[in-house]
Amino acid sequence: MQFALYRYEFEVMEKKDSSASLFPNQRDNLTPREAFDRKSELLDELLEKDYKILDRERKMSSIERDANNYALPNEPIFGKGFSPIEHTWKERTSPRSNSVEKTPLQFTNGHKKPLFHRYVVAPKDGFTILELARHSNMTHHPHPFQANAVKEDDYKSQRIIIDNRGTHQRVAIEEKSSAFSTDAVAASLARALCEAFARYGLKVKVVPIRDDKHFWKIVNDRKRFPKGFKRLCVVFPQINDEELSERMRQAQMEYRQLFQSNLKVIQESPQGESLHFDEKDKRQQEYVKICTENADSIKLSPIGGNSFTLGGKSAKTQQMSEQERKKLEEGYQQQELFESDPTQSIQSFMDKAYK
């Protein structure tokens, strides 16, 4: 099982959203800058509240099923479908759905159609593990040689791991093309978090942690770009942690020398020449690594060609071991018995992302 690595970033907006409070009687008087300084704590509170609402609804649905002698198929979390959420989804669309408390996180796709989510286990120690699903109708013929087809609900899902330990701010998104692209999941997560944090005057982005090897492969491709590149535009976010701030101050002093370029916000070559890229230069290696891992966007402009931005396909990936996968599955199946806690296994998995 492979995951693409992303990073989420907070930015301060000029105005707050006047929408209803997600956390009544808490943090109501924070300025956007104060909220930014406490962003990790606020995100933990948001995820905890969201989990409790869904967990309470799941338990009530379980009680109702038992009372009506109704049982869902016992499919594991890593099975083909998303059947354990089907009953919850049906309850939410029934006439009594107005009585269901609105969750702080509202996931949608690019067309604003609702998506559905659930937690593998309760958020703990800065880690959140959840699934995102979309609903569709699956048609099949249960009896051969009969014309009548049967339509059934189908929930294709994808797993998301959020690492909110201090200034880590990383997200691992399962690569599963049958459900969503990783960029689509990142965009949906960003929309949900933006809506939730707008009341604090904060905006949230979810961007790929790009692999510097992908960058070097592009700039060294003389077959596609025989004349080289005239411009490199790197956009960095507002500083979310001090370590990045210090590294960028150091990098800024070396821009001109490294690329033999004019000193601008973007790296632009002199008229008629190309930028000087040298993969063997250790200082360029360090700078490119800083850019690919921390930038909001990286845009390259080839000489004689159209500019393009490095997207999610350039994101770093990480393989989850079979043992780590089983820990996740056990965590969901046994969460009510408190017999399994996948947090330690997930921490080990995410720690590899920082090496």
Mean pLDDT of 294-323: 85
Task: Report pLDDT for 88.
Answer: 46
Task: Report pLDDT for 81.
Answer: 42
Is the pLDDT score of 240 beyond 90?
no
Positive or negative: CA dihedral 170, 174, 178, 179: negative
Phi-psi label, residue 154: left if phi above 0, alpha if psi -120 to 50, beta otherwise: beta
Mean pLDDT of 230-245: 75
For 40-60, the pLDDT digits (tens) are 999 999 999 999 998 888 777
Positive or negative: CA dihedral 116, 120, 122, 126: negative
Is the pLDDT score of 311 beyond 90?
no
How far does the chain reach from its first CA to its final CA, in angstroms? 19
How many percent of the chain have pLDDT more than 90?
24
More confident residue, 146 or 314: 314
Residue ranges covered by each domain of the chain: 2-209+318-354, 212-311
**Count of alpha carbons within 13 Å of 129, Cβ hemisphere only?**
26
More confident residue, 204 or 259: 204
Task: Report pLDDT for 74.
Answer: 40
More confident residue, 239 or 194: 194
More confident residue, 26 or 311: 311
Q: Which residues pair with 157 in a beta bridge?
A: 133
Decide: 178 and 189 in contact? Cβ < 8 Å: no
Confidence at 173, pLDDT banded by 50, 70, 90: very high
Decide: 156 and 178 in contact? Cβ < 8 Å: yes
Is the pLDDT score of 134 beyond 60?
yes
Mean of the per-residue pLDDT values of the chain:
76
Task: Report pLDDT for 264.
Answer: 45
Is the pLDDT score of 190 beyond 90?
yes
Task: Report pLDDT for 196.
Answer: 92
Of 93-102, 107-116, 189-198, give the range with the top mean pLDDT.
Answer: 189-198
Task: Report pLDDT for 98.
Answer: 47
Residue whose pair of structure tokens reads 């649905």 in the numeric block:
61
Q: Which of 225, 237, 235, 236 is nearest to 301 (CA)?
A: 225
Packing angle of the helix pair 322-333, 343-351 (nearest 10 deg): 150
Task: Report pLDDT for 244.
Answer: 62
Task: Report pLDDT for 193.
Answer: 95
Q: Which residues pair with 233 in a beta bridge?
A: 299
Is the pLDDT score of 89 beyond 80?
no
Is the pLDDT score of 84 beyond 60?
no
Is the pLDDT score of 20 beyond 70?
no
- SS3 letters across the chain: CEEEEEEEEEEECCCCCCCCCCCCCCCCCCCHHHHHHCHHHHHHHHHHHHHHHHHHHHHHHHHHHHHCCCCCCCCCCCCCCCHHHHHHHHHHCCHHHHHCCCCCCCCECCCCCECEEEECCCCECCEEEEEEEEEEEEEECCCCCCCCCEEEEEEEEEEEEEECCCCCCEEEEECECCCECHHHHHHHHHHHHHHHHHHHCEEEEEEECECHHHHHHHHCCCCCCCCCEEEEEEECCCCCCHHHHHHHHHHHCCHHHHHCCEECCCEECCCCCCCCCCCCCHHHHHHHHHHHHHCCEEEEEECCCCCEECCHHHECEEECCHHHHHHHHHHHHCCCCCCCCCHHHHHHHHHHHHC
Confidence at 278, pLDDT banded by 50, 70, 90: very high
Q: Which of 123, 111, 61 is nearest to 86 (CA)?
A: 61
Task: Report pLDDT for 280.
Answer: 93
